[in-house]
Chains A and B, each alone.
Chain A
Amino acid sequence: GDSVTQMEGPVTLSEEAFLTINCTYTATGYPSLFWYVQYPGEGLQLLLKATKADDKGSNKGFEATYRKETTSFHLEKGSVQVSDSAVYFCALSRSNTGKLIFGQGTTLQVKP
């Protein structure tokens, strides 16, 4: 069945460092891919998405490119801030059901 695998955390970075969180998926066909973020004490929020191969999703300085050949959707940001500290979830979905399949989450801690 479909599945998503993320790099294990926690990831600890200094402010203004470059961030990469790896995400790979297993699925037949062409699912949509997402990154969700969960800030401490808050609910899940959609960060960015990509719906077809080679699409690049971007938001708030974060980017991820849908790579069909490597079945990956790695999250990147050029310069992280303390306010980016959160748990990040990679997910996939099929348009027919809309249900989301999540990775296990990666905790990011950014220190001043």
Chain B
Amino acid sequence: DTGVSQDPRHKITKRGQNVTFRCDPISEHNRLYWYRQTLGQGPEFLTYFQNEAQLEKSRLLSDRFSAERPKGSFSTLEIQRTEQGDSAMYLCASSSFRSRQGEYGYTFGSGTRLTVV
């Protein structure tokens, strides 16, 4: 198992463009989480999926953001009409629902760093 993979590692885009990030979780994990981390801050929760169902979305997730997890495997996070304030590291994590939080813990990906110019 290669862990949680995120693609791309870095993305530079012009303001107003759309971007899409991909996350491939650990195959046996049925929960998948997205977080956003800005410079000097801790990660902030955006949304999470159990299998293909999106169970919670943060108020941080404006209507320009959309996340999907078709077939309960990989997930995509799309940002439409990007703004400079969207510049951040976007982290994905997966966990197993059947395991108590902490026994397996999360596995985080290395993140996608978005820069909006």
- A91–B108 Cα distance when bound, in Å, is 14
Shortest distance from the beta carbon of B74 to any chain A beta carbon, whole Å: 18
State the total of A-B contacts with C-beta under 8 angstroms. 61
Q: Considering the chains assembled together, what is the distance between the CA atoms of A102 and B108 in angstroms?
A: 14
Q: A32-B101, A95-B100, A99-B56 are in contact. Are A104 and B48 (CB under 8 A)?
A: no
Residues of B within 8 A of A104 (CB): 40-42
| Total chain A interface residues with beta-carbon distance under 8 A | 24
Task: Contacts A93-B101, A102-B43 known; list 17 others, CB within 8 Å.
Answer: A4-B42, A32-B102, A34-B105, A43-B109, A44-B106, A45-B108, A46-B105, A49-B102, A89-B43, A97-B48, A98-B31, A98-B106, A99-B56, A101-B45, A102-B44, A104-B40, A104-B42
A contacts, CB < 8 Å to B:
4, 32, 34, 42-46, 49, 51, 89, 91, 93-95, 97-105
